[in-house]
Amino acid sequence: TTTEQHRLADEDATLALGADLARRLKPGACVYLRGDLGAGKTTLVRGLLRALGHQGAVKSPTYTLVEPYETGGVPIYHFDLYRLGDPEELEMIGIRDYFDGRALCLLEWPERGRGMIPAPDLTVTLAVEGRGRHANLEWAHGQH
Ligand code: ADP
Ligand code: MG
């Protein structure tokens, strides 16, 4: 694995990191977004989707578990597993179909889907640091 650290002074810096990841991630990548509520996970996804050309709103799919997007012919699935009670519930939404090797998958609260989701190509861990945020990026072997 390769790790990198980023200090994100404000929301714009989180959006910019998301845009940077949009350029660096390979198609079909699986990204885990870790960190407490309010750490900036959804903001990062917003920056990434905007950089890929998505112009509409980006809200966390807390109740629906997953929100699908499509930009430039590439499907992107944004998961938020915060409210998931049992990983088996993922079976019911047909979780396997989302990880088809073609779509970019972004998962908030991936630890709640343990056993049901693929290993990550990139793990981003966000934490509050002063008025801003700190991001730790861990790239799996072969992804960087
Ligand atoms: P999460 O999805 O992790 O719960 P959000 O992305 O919804 O968190 O962000 C929560 C709040 O944090 C938002 O108000 C957002 O503007 C703010 N935020 C995001 N990045 C930063 C940053 N680098 N510095 C300060 N505030 C930030
Ligand atoms: Mg969120």
| Position in ligand 1 atom list of the atom nearest CA 44 | 6
Taking only the tens place, the pLDDT of each residue in 20-77 is: 999 999 889 999 999 999 999 999 999 999 999 999 999 889 888 999 999 988 999 9
Determine the residue of 14, 49, 80 to mutate for testing ligand 1's pocket, defined as the one with the most ligand atoms within 8 A of the Cβ atom.
14
Q: Who contacts 116 (Cβ-Cβ below 8 Å, separation ≥6)? A: 87, 88, 90, 91, 95
Q: ipTM of the assembly?
A: 0.99
| Position in ligand 1 atom list of the atom nearest CA 108 | 2
To which residue do tokens 């660096």 refer?
Answer: 24
Average pLDDT over residues 115-130: 97
Interatomic CA distance for residues 141 and 99, integer angstroms: 19
Element (H, E) at 3: strand 2-8
Taking only the tens place, the pLDDT of each residue in 80-93 is: 999 998 888 999 88
Give yes or no for a contact between 131 and 137, defined as CB atoms under 8 angstroms apart.
no
Contacts of the segment 73-77: beta carbons below 8 A, 24+ positions apart: 74/27, 74/102, 74/103, 74/104, 75/102, 75/103, 75/104, 76/49, 76/52, 76/103, 76/104, 76/105, 76/106, 77/103, 77/104, 77/105, 77/106
> Domains in the chain, ordered, with CATH?
2-139 (3.40.50.300)
Residue 39 Cβ < 6 Å to ligand 1: yes
Which pLDDT belongs to residue 144?
Answer: 59
Residue 123 Cβ < 6 Å to ligand 1: no
Q: How far is CA 53 from CA 46, 72, 103, 136, in A?
A: 11, 8, 16, 25
